[in-house]
Amino acid sequence: MEHVTAVPSWAMLAYLVSGVLFILALRGLSSPATSRAGNRYGMIGMTIAMVTTLVTHGIASLPEIAGAIAIGGGVGFVTARKIKMTDMPQLVAAFHSLVGLAAVLVGLAAYLNPQAFGIAGADGIIEPQSRIEMGLGIAIGAITFSGSIIAFLKLAGKMSGSPILLPGRHVLNLGTLIAILGLVAYFTQDQSQWVIATITVLSFIIGFLLIIPIGGADMPVVVSMLNSYSGWAAAAMGFTLHNTAMIITGALVGSSGAILSYIMCKAMNRGFLSVIAGGFGAEAAAGGGAAKEQRPWKRGSAEDAAYMMKEAENVIIIPGYGMAVSQAQHALREMGDVLKKEGVNVKYAIHPVAGRMPGHMNVLLAEANVPYDEVFELEDINSEFAQADVAFIIGANDVVNPAAKTDKSSPIYGMPVFDVDKAKTIFFVKRSMGGVGYAGVDNDVFYMDQTMMLLADAKKMVEDIVKALAH
């Protein structure tokens, strides 16, 4: 039986070094202060892995490889330069889709030419264990691709962010998944084209079915979950290609994405298994709408906010997706700088699921050069709201909704939220009183005695506050 040429010992060492660098990259990305170093470690590790693979495998001619790198690198460079920070979630979803599609194409290439991959004999019969790896890799890759496409469309606003509920979807999803696993098992006995084709088609379909019932409130979980899927798809293809670096990298991405998804679920009071099954909380979210009743509320102005914050001792700023939409992070940092010059203690409070992807608010504040030591996670700052003179909420909603603590019928009940209701004064920036958060529930904070609603575009409102502070 023909096999690929054994990988030399120096190549195995190089792959090991790459794996260590990938681990250091993940470690570095765990903190904004070390994220740049983490990115560098990842880039160096990937470069070593790519060069080692190209040297030890006769994959294609150097001009072909150089051309492919130039095209892909050029597209990535231009996209990264042009992309707005508000569009980062859908960019991440698009990248995940490409990883999934690459896994599908590699798997199909290995199926069509197994001798080139060293997974079959001269008779073309693929080894049973390679068929399992191939089937799973293609299935996970196809699920990642179609699921990421739906996530991209939802995040980009090209498709409704509301849950799309199909009748009997749980039975349909479970039946489709069982059929895929059954076909993968059957594939070990029969490598006919209809088997691998059916696995591929059903996997594309289930990726679509799993994501369309999930609403905007669960998008951070979806993004991290798809990230995990893309890693496992890469790991499966690593076994098919006999590439240690791909196995290590895929396993790291898959496991870290799964852990992050679990953290996101915990932060949102979601069941991990329920989310990956598709559409958890969709029924509750689908019933949401505008505010349930007309209640008295107080409208504030930029001048009110400027005066109160200038006289304050402690101000806590809570950003949300509304800040990202209006691109208000730079104006917000300027406001914070002005307040600090006036002797005010300014801190930023970040909820784990604020925005539409994990770390979305952290990325935006880092882009605006907000000092890392002024940014705090929920568990580190929540106890300080009782001593805060002002809580300044800009574009957040569900993450400051006290219904999560008091209303057992609320779809967000049990989700950890900021205790903004304990602050002496609350300024709530949002476009209008008509809108509600992703969960579709009214927010009692709007109507509290200490709350002033600042109804305007977030960026314009913050810029007006900065002007008022200057005067």
Residues 197 and 138 placed together within one structural domain of the fold = yes
pTM for the complete prediction? Answer: 0.75
Mark which of 239, 256, 285 sits at the end of a domain.
285
Residue 290 is assigned to a structural domain of this protein: no
Helix spans in 312-359 (H): 321-326, 329-341
Residues 204 and 254 placed together within one structural domain of the fold = yes
The reported pLDDT for the residue numbered 204 is: 94
- Choose the catalytic residue: 398, 419, 421, 442: 398
Residues 386 and 309 placed together within one structural domain of the fold = yes
* Percent of the chain scoring above 90 in pLDDT: 35
Lowest mean pLDDT among 103-107, 131-135, 241-245: 241-245
Residue 271 is assigned to a structural domain of this protein: yes
Report the pLDDT averaged over residues 118-123: 77
Residues 362 and 251 placed together within one structural domain of the fold = no
Residue 323 is assigned to a structural domain of this protein: yes
Residue 434 or residue 253, greater confidence: 253
In the predicted structure, residue 285 carries a pLDDT above the cut 60: no
Give me the domain span that covers residue 47: 1-82
> What is the phi-psi region of residue 440: left when phi exceeds 0, alpha when psi lies from -120 to 50, beta otherwise?
left
Residue 292 is assigned to a structural domain of this protein: no
Residues 463 and 329 placed together within one structural domain of the fold = yes
CB 366 within 8 A of CB 229: no
Residues 100 and 218 placed together within one structural domain of the fold = yes
Mark which of 285, 319, 349 sits at the end of a domain.
285
Residues 245 and 344 placed together within one structural domain of the fold = no
Mark which of 224, 255, 285 sits at the end of a domain.
285
In the predicted structure, residue 309 carries a pLDDT above the cut 90: yes
Residue 319 is assigned to a structural domain of this protein: yes
Residue 293 is assigned to a structural domain of this protein: no
- In this prediction, residue 4 has a pLDDT band, given cuts at 50, 70 and 90, of very low
Residues 28 and 117 placed together within one structural domain of the fold = no
pLDDT tens sequence across 403-437: 888 887 777 777 889 999 999 999 999 988 776 66
- In this prediction, residue 146 has a pLDDT band, given cuts at 50, 70 and 90, of very high
Report the pLDDT averaged over residues 122-147: 89
Cβ neighbours for 438, distance < 8 A, ≥ 6 positions apart: 161, 215, 216, 217, 219, 285, 397, 398
Residue 327 is assigned to a structural domain of this protein: yes
Per-residue tokens: 314: 């402690």
Residues 185 and 279 placed together within one structural domain of the fold = yes
CB 219 within 8 A of CB 165: no
Residues 350 and 273 placed together within one structural domain of the fold = no
What is the 3 state secondary structure string of 367-381?
HCCCCHHHEEEHHHH
CB 177 within 8 A of CB 277: no
Lowest mean pLDDT among 340-344, 391-395, 438-442: 438-442
Residues 233 and 212 placed together within one structural domain of the fold = yes
Cβ neighbours for 233, distance < 8 A, ≥ 6 positions apart: 99, 100, 103, 137, 140, 141, 144, 250
Total count of domains within the chain: 3
Is 398 labeled as catalytic in the residue annotation?
yes
* Percent of the chain scoring above 70 in pLDDT: 89
Averaged confidence pLDDT in the chain:
84
Residues 249 and 379 placed together within one structural domain of the fold = no
The reported pLDDT for the residue numbered 287 is: 43
CATH number at residue 312: 3.40.50.1220
Helix spans in 113-218 (H): 128-155, 169-187, 193-211
CB 220 within 8 A of CB 264: yes
Residue 22 is assigned to a structural domain of this protein: yes
